Amino acid sequence: MNWIQRGTAHVLGHDVPHDGAVMAFDIVLSRSTNPDELIPHLFAELDPGLAGRIRPGDLIVAGRNFLAGKAHNAGIIAMKALGLGILCESMSVRAFQGVVALAVPALVSCHGIADALSDGDEIEVDYANGTVTRCATGEIRHYPPLAPEIRAMIGNGGMRGALLAHLRAHPELGQPHAG
């Protein structure tokens, strides 16, 4: 996986809940996991025009408490399908688990990022080194990078991919236990 991503920043602010902001609540309740059904509803209640501005590879920038509330994954599934990355000041452990499990690259301890960038900025993120560069000015900001273990899981395609890679490396684990 390429740990450098370049795209447009879409700045959302603080305390953005999953249900009712990242994904419409009725869509969450439908329990759909089909990205084609989810993508049109991504951020629709937060900013109805945002889905039309997002391009594959763009970056979602948020302040504190991104993906707040219940740990649903519909919005994360849609973000993954679009190849989006996430930069935020904070998110809950459960939200981060969902992001990693679904293999969405994210830097989640970016103090001041929501105020440092403007909506529409072209940025380049290096997840392995924790740098965010504003392309127009060359300004570089430094944040804690993704840990190697987290990069490995995301690089394998998330939780399912990491499990499959582990089973391939240890075929004896796939055999019935005699006993």
User: What pairing do the DSSP bridges indicate for beta strands 59-62 and 4-13?
Assistant: parallel
pLDDT confidence of residue 146: 97
pLDDT band at 73 (very low <50, low <70, confident <90, very high): very high
Whether the predicted pLDDT of 177 surpasses 80: no
The region, left, alpha or beta by phi > 0 then psi within -120 to 50, assigned to residue 111 is: beta
- Quote the pLDDT of residue 151: 96
- Triad 17, 40, 146: Cα angle to 5°: 50
Q: What are phi and psi of 18, to 5 degrees?
A: -65, -60
- Report how far residue 169's alpha carbon sits from residue 82's, in angstroms, rounded to the nearest whole number: 30
CATH 1.10.760.10 corresponds to the domain 4-146: no
Q: Is the pLDDT of residue 103 over 80?
A: yes
What whole-number distance in Å separates Cα of residue 8 and Cα of residue 150? 24
- d(CA 140, CA 142) in angstroms, rounded, equals 7
What is the pLDDT at residue 138?
98
Whether residue 179 has pLDDT greater than 80: no
Average pLDDT over the chain reads 94
Q: In the predicted model, is pLDDT for residue 166 greater than 80?
A: yes
Domain spans in the chain, listed from the N-terminal domain onward? 4-146
Q: Is the pLDDT of residue 154 over 90?
A: yes
**pLDDT tens sequence across 15-70:** 998 988 899 888 888 999 999 999 999 999 899 999 889 999 999 999 999 999 88
